[in-house]
């Protein structure tokens, strides 16, 4: 039995009360909760526009569609990410290529991105960086590379709500990007169960996403191409293809309640991470993640350690099974996309950093309900097994 899963949501009484209030009011979709949620996101992330949708994948697809990704306009992204970052571009029929990453952090860098762009045989219109595990990429350096090659920059910030660029501007403010996307999945910092969001400062993109998340429907009579009959409150038009990517009121109520304690929860995660550093210490067989807050913010969605399985003479699966027998759940983030059958590539030597990161990484339990004695127990078992 797993006593300590690698992650789990925190649901409080205030979360439950807010959702119940929506159910009692009887208005279950396209009501006041989504308006309030979007307003609070815009305030907290310092952006002009925020559009909540029903998943992080939907958020990415909406952005890529609005930026006109397609057969002749491709995507460059990280191979160390969840499938959705690349799949959403494929949903636009766009080609996808990958950049290598830093072998220690799993993050794309200005250098790895430029190398991928120079080697690309397709036109890259969008570069999507991934703030893996809550650690923020070098956005200033990457934005300079994007401008140099005429690319638009998008942030997959699904792991990083509450993080900052250089401790001044919040991720989501789009200081360096055209748009940012977030996931509010059940185990994210802000949990809706299933949900996501796009933030941007571009009015045209915002309006396009608002239309596309609800079947492409337009109800603004000033934008109609045809003239409806007099007094036709039911009338609407569809100019472009859209989808049902709307989020319901219960999910938005839960997300709004969770967003209000985001700062507090990040502080708790930082405290738990400090305890890991205190109790674990790097050894000959494993290394702890770098704590480089002076350079880049990290809101610790994940706590990944790097294990030398070859030196340990145990496989990653063996280690995970041993930890699970002690009630400790772990996970791997992520299988590189170039290894997936859909994206399979023969020449993976160009991704040496990504391969090194993947071959050694293992995510340990990290969620706000953990206590000091839990971290001590987990750390002790890890040291016993990794020796």
Domain containing 253 equals: 13-259
Q: How far apart are CA 77 and CA 100, in angstroms?
A: 9
The string of DSSP letters for 303-331 reads EEEEE-HHHHT--HHHHHHHHHHTTB--B
Kindly report whether the global pTM for this prediction surpasses the value 0.75: yes
State which of 221, 242, 259 marks the end of a domain. Answer: 259
Single residue among 214, 240, 259 that ends a domain in this structure:
259
Instruction: Identify whether residues 78 and 194 lie together within a single domain.
Output: yes
| pLDDT value of position 293 | 65
Residue 351 lies in a domain: yes
Could you give the CA distance from residue 73 to residue 147 in angstroms, rounded to a whole number? 16
Residue 6 maps to a domain: no
215 in the same domain as 278: no
In the prediction, which pLDDT does 294 show?
A: 59
Does 272 share its domain with 200? no
CATH of the domain at 321: 3.90.1150.10
- Based on the structure, what is the number of domains in the chain? 2
Shared domain for 186 and 279, answered yes or no, is no
Task: Give the burial class of 343: count Cβ atoms within 10 A of its Cβ; 0-12 exposed, 13-18 middle, 19 or more buried.
Answer: middle
pLDDT mean by block of 10 residues, the chain; 387 residues: 96 98 93 97 98 98 98 98 98 98 97 98 98 97 98 98 92 98 98 98 98 96 90 93 98 98 97 97 92 80 97 97 98 98 92 98 98 98 95
pLDDT digits (tens, 9 = 90+) for 46-88: 999 999 999 999 999 999 999 999 999 999 999 999 999 999 9
Any domain includes 8: no
Nearest in space to 208 (alpha carbons), one of 61, 10, 367, 373 = 61
Has residue 333 been placed in a domain? Answer: yes
pLDDT at 37: 98
What are the tens digits of pLDDT across the range 269-297?
999 999 999 999 888 999 999 887 656 78
Please state, in angstroms and rounded to a whole number, the distance separating the CA atoms of residues 231 and 225: 17
Q: What is the CA radius of gyration of the chain?
A: 22
């Amino acid at each position: 039995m797993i006593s300590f899963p690698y992650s789990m949501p925190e649901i409080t009484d205030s979360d439950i009360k807010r959702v119940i209030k929506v159910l009692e009011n009887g208005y279950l979709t396209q009501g006041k909760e989504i308006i309030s949620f979007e307003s609070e996101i815009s305030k907290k992330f310092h952006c002009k526009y925020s559009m909540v949708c029903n998943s992080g994948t939907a958020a990415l697809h909406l952005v890529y569609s609005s930026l006109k990704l397609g057969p002749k306009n491709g995507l460059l992204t990280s191979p160390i990410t969840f499938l959705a970052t690349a799949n959403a571009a494929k949903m636009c029929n766009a080609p996808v290529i990958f950049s290598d990453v830093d072998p220690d952090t799993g993050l794309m860098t200005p250098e790895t991105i430029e190398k991928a762009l120079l080697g690309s045989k397709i036109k890259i219109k969008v570069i999507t960086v991934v703030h893996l595990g809550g650690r923020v990429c070098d956005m200033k350096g990457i934005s300079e590379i994007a401008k140099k090659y005429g690319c638009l920059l998008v942030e997959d910030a699904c792991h990083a709500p509450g993080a900052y660029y250089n401790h001044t501007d919040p991720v989501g403010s789009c200081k360096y990007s055209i748009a940012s996307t977030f996931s509010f999945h059940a185990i994210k910092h802000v949990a809706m169960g299933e949900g996501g969001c796009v933030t941007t400062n571009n009015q045209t993109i915002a309006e396009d996403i608002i239309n596309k998340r609800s079947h492409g429907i337009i109800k603004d009579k000033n934008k109609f191409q045809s003239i409806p009959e007099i007094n036709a409150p039911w009338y609407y038009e569809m100019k472009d293809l859209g989808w049902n990517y709307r989020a319901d009121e219960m999910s938005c109520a839960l997300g709004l309640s969770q967003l209000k304690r985001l700062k507090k929860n990040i502080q708790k995660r930082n405290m738990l991470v400090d305890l890991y550093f205190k109790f674990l210490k790097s050894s000959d067989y494993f290394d702890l993640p770098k704590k480089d807050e002076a350079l880049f913010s990290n809101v610790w969605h994940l706590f990944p350690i790097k294990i030398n399985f070859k030196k340990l003479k145990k496989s990653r699966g063996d280690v995970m099974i041993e930890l699970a027998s002690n009630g400790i759940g772990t996970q791997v983030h992520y299988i590189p996309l170039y290894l997936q059958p859909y994206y399979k590539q023969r020449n993976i030597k160009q991704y040496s950093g990504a391969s090194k990161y993947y071959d050694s990484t293992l995510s340990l339990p990290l969620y706000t309900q953990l206590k000091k004695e839990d971290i001590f127990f987990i750390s002790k078992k890890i040291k016993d097994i990794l020796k």
